[in-house]
Structure 1
Amino acid sequence: MFGMLSMGSSCSFLYINSVLLFTLRSKQVFCETSRYILLYNMLFADTVHMASNLLLYFLASLRIKITYYACGALVLLSVFTITISPLSLAVMSLERYVAVCYPLRHATIFNMRSTGMAIALVWGFSFIHILIRGFMLLYLFTKLSLKQMGDFCSKEAVFFAPMFNDFEEAYASTLFLSIGVVIIASYIGVALVARSVSTDKASARKALQTLLLHLIQLSLILISTFISTILMAIARTVGRLVLMRIYNVCFVCLNILPRCLSALIYGLRDQTIRAIFMQNLCCHLRCSVFLNKNQ
C-alpha cells in the first residue's frame, strides 16, 4: 500500500513537471526570456532525476536485480541531475537579484548569450562531478561490472566504499554552503533595495518570496543528499517494516517533492505561465477556479 501511494504520488509530480516543460515550449516569449529559459533547464534536470529515481524504485519494488554495470549507469544518471538543480537555483536567484536591483541592466546582463553560458557552466560542473564518480566506480567495478547484484539497485548499493561517503560529505557541504550563501546574499540585497521609494514594491516582494522558496527547496535537496546517512541511523532503532515505511515517506517528501516545487512555485505564482499551465494540466478543459481570476 505504501509502495502504491509512493508510486502514485511520484507519477503525479512527474506529470506536473512534464506539463510545465511542454508549457514552457508552447510560447515564443518563454523561449526568449532568461528567467523561463533557466526554469526550463532546472525543470528538465529535475524531471530526468525523478524519472530515474522512479525507475530505481520500481526495480526495487519488484525485486528485480540487474548487473553492477547497469545499476551504476542508472545511479550515475540520478546523481548527475542532483547537482544541476542547486546550481540552477543559484543562477535563478542571481537573476531575480539583478531584475530587482538593476532593472535597467537586467536585459544586458541576462541576455540569451549569457544565459546559455550560465547553463553550459552548470552542466559542465555537474559533468565533472559525475566524471569523478564514474572513474571511482570503474576502479571498484573492474571485476563486478558483469555480475548480478546480490541486492536491488540503489545509490547505497553502488557507492558502498568509504571513500564515496567522504567524497559525498566534502562535496555536498562545499556545494550547498556556497549556493546557500548566494541565495541568502541575493535575498538580503533584494530586501535592502525593497526599502527604496523608487523600487517596485510588488515586484520586490514577489522576488523575496521566490528567493525564500528557493532556500527551502535547497534545504530539502540538501537533506535528500544525506538521506542514506539518516536512514542508517534510524535503522539501528526500528525494525525493517517500519524502516521501509519511513523510506517510502522520505522518497516522496525528500527525493520527489523538492523536484516538483519549481513547477508549483512558477506554474501557479507566475501570471504569465499560470493560465496556459492550468489549461495544459487539465488537458485544455476549463479550470474556472484559476482561469476566471485572469479574465
Structure 2
Amino acid sequence: MLNSSGIYSNSSQVSIIGSKTAEYVKLAVALLIIVCFCCFLYFMAVMLNVFFTTSNIRENSRYILFFHMLINDTLYIAFGVLLLLLAIYRVAIPGPICYVLYIIGSSTFRATAYNLATMALERYVAICHPLRHGELCTAQRAKVSIVLMWVVGLIPYATDLIIILASNNKLSSLNVVCTQETMVVNPVQIIIRSQSVIIGFTTVGLIIIFTYVRIILIAQKISSQSSFALKAGKTVLLHAFQLVLCMASLLSNVSEMYPNNYSAFLPLVNFLMYSCVPRFLSPLIYGLRDEVLRKYIRQTVLKSCRTVHVSKS
C-alpha cells in the first residue's frame, strides 16, 4: 500500500526484539533524530526572526512561500517523530486524537510538494513575465496560495473522514496504536489515499518540469537576463531534486519488507533518511543560497552570539 504520509510504517512490520543491542540501536537513532530536529529548530528560529523583523522580506511573495515551507516541514517532522515513536513503542491513544495527528502529518507531507510547485511558478513568472511579476506575485496572493495548498491537501481526508463516520466503526471510542493502517476501515480509503498522492505528485512534477524548460529557453534567448534566468533555473531544478527526495519517503515501506532481523529500528532509520534529511536540507538549499537571506542570517547569528557573550561576562 502507498504510504501517503511518509511518516510511519506498517505496524505489523515493527516487531519488538528482545535483544538489548536492537533496543540500544533503536534508542540511538531516535536520539539522533531528536538532536537533529533541535538543531533544525534553532536554525528555524533564526530564520523566522529574520522574516518577522525584516519588512522587505516579510512582504516578498517568494520569501513568504519559503518560510511557509520551513514551518510546514517543522510541523511534519514534529508530528512524524511523535507518531513514529508512538507506533514503535506501541503506545495506545484515543482514536480521534490518532486521526487528528494522522491528518496533520499527512497534510504537511502533501503541502511540501504543493509549496515546491508554487515556488517554481513564482520563479517562472519572474523570468518569463517580468513585467507582470509585481502584479501577479504579491504577498496577498502568496498567502491565498498557501490557503489553497491546505484546502487541496485536506480534501482527501474530508472524504476519508466521511467514510469512517459512515462505517459505524467504534474507532472514536477505542484506544489504538496509532498507525496508518489503524485508520483504515474500508478498502476505498486506500484507493482514495493512493490516487490522490499519485495525482498530486504527478501534477507537481509536471509543473516543475514545465517551469524549468521555459526558464532555460528564456535564458538561452535573452543574453542580458541569462545569468538571472539560469540562477532561477537552478532553483527550480533544486525544487525537482527535493520533490524526488520527498517521493523517496513513499518507498520506505519497500525496504522494510525484507530485512526482518532489523525491523525494530528500520522504520526509524527510514524516517531519518527519507523524511527528515530532505527537510533538514531545505534551509541550506534555499536559505543560504539566497544572498539577502544569508546577509540577515549572519547578522542575526552574530547579534545573538554577542548577546550571549555579554550576558556571560
Instruction: Give the conservation status (yes or no) of the 8 Å contact 2:127–2:229.
Output: yes
The Cα offsets for residues 40-74 of structure 1, whole Å up to 9 and x where unpaired, read as 22222222112111222343455432122211111
Residues 244-255 of structure 1 correspond to what in structure 2 (within 5 A)? 244-255=264-275
- Gaps of at least 5 residues in structure 1 are 287-295
Structure 1 Cα separation of the partners of residues 301 and 174 of structure 2:
43
Aligned residue identity for 2:161: G
**Post-superposition offset of 1:142:** 3.1
User: Structure 1 residue 164 and structure 2 residue 189: aligned?
Assistant: yes
User: Structure 1 residue 275 and structure 2 residue 295: aligned?
Assistant: yes
Q: Which range moves more in the overlay, 135-144 or 259-268?
A: 135-144
User: Structure 1 residue 123 and structure 2 residue 143: aligned?
Assistant: no
Q: Which range moves more in the overlay, 171-180 or 189-198?
A: 189-198
Change (3 A) 1:242 1:268: same
Q: Which range moves more in the overlay, 67-76 or 119-128?
A: 119-128
**Post-superposition offset of 1:226:** 4.6
Change (3 A) 1:207 1:247: same
**3-state SS of paired residue (2:130):** coil
**3-state SS of paired residue (1:21):** helix
| TM-score, normalisation: structure 1 | 0.85
The Cα offsets for residues 164-200 of structure 1, whole Å up to 9 and x where unpaired, read as 3222221111111111010011000011111124442
Aligned twin of 1:178: 203
Task: Identify the match of residue 191 of structure 1 among 216, 221, 245.
Answer: 216
Task: Identify the match of residue 214 of structure 1 among 225, 239, 262.
Answer: 239
The Cα offsets for residues 6-54 of structure 1, whole Å up to 9 and x where unpaired, read as 3322333343334323322220011111101111222222221121112
Give the RMSD, CA atoms, in angstroms.
Answer: 2.4
Instruction: Give the conservation status (yes or no) of the 8 Å contact 1:68–1:141.
Output: no
Aligned twin of 2:11: none
User: Structure 1 residue 106 and structure 2 residue 126: aligned?
Assistant: no
Instruction: Give the conservation status (yes or no) of the 8 Å contact 2:72–2:108.
Output: yes
Structure 2 Cα separation of the partners of residues 266 and 98 of structure 1:
18
Instruction: Give the conservation status (yes or no) of the 8 Å contact 1:60–1:153.
Output: yes
- Gaps of at least 5 residues in structure 2 are 1-27, 307-313
Aligned twin of 2:278: 258
Aligned twin of 1:238: 259
Change (3 A) 1:66 1:140: farther
Structure 2 Cα separation of the partners of residues 283 and 72 of structure 1:
42
**Bigger relative contact order, structure 1 or 2 (CA pairs below 8 A, ≥6 apart):** 2
Instruction: Give the conservation status (yes or no) of the 8 Å contact 1:88–1:122.
Output: yes
**Post-superposition offset of 1:116:** 2.9
**Post-superposition offset of 1:271:** 0.6
Aligned twin of 1:53: 80
**Post-superposition offset of 1:281:** 5.4
Aligned residue identity for 2:220: R
Instruction: Give the conservation status (yes or no) of the 8 Å contact 1:72–1:158.
Output: yes
Task: Identify the match of residue 19 of structure 1 among 46, 51, 59.
Answer: 46
Instruction: Give the conservation status (yes or no) of the 8 Å contact 1:79–1:130.
Output: no
| TM-score, normalisation: structure 2 | 0.80
Instruction: Give the conservation status (yes or no) of the 8 Å contact 2:107–2:150.
Output: no
Change (3 A) 1:218 1:225: same
Instruction: Give the conservation status (yes or no) of the 8 Å contact 1:76–1:134.
Output: no
User: Structure 1 residue 28 and structure 2 residue 55: aligned?
Assistant: yes
Instruction: Give the conservation status (yes or no) of the 8 Å contact 1:68–1:148.
Output: yes
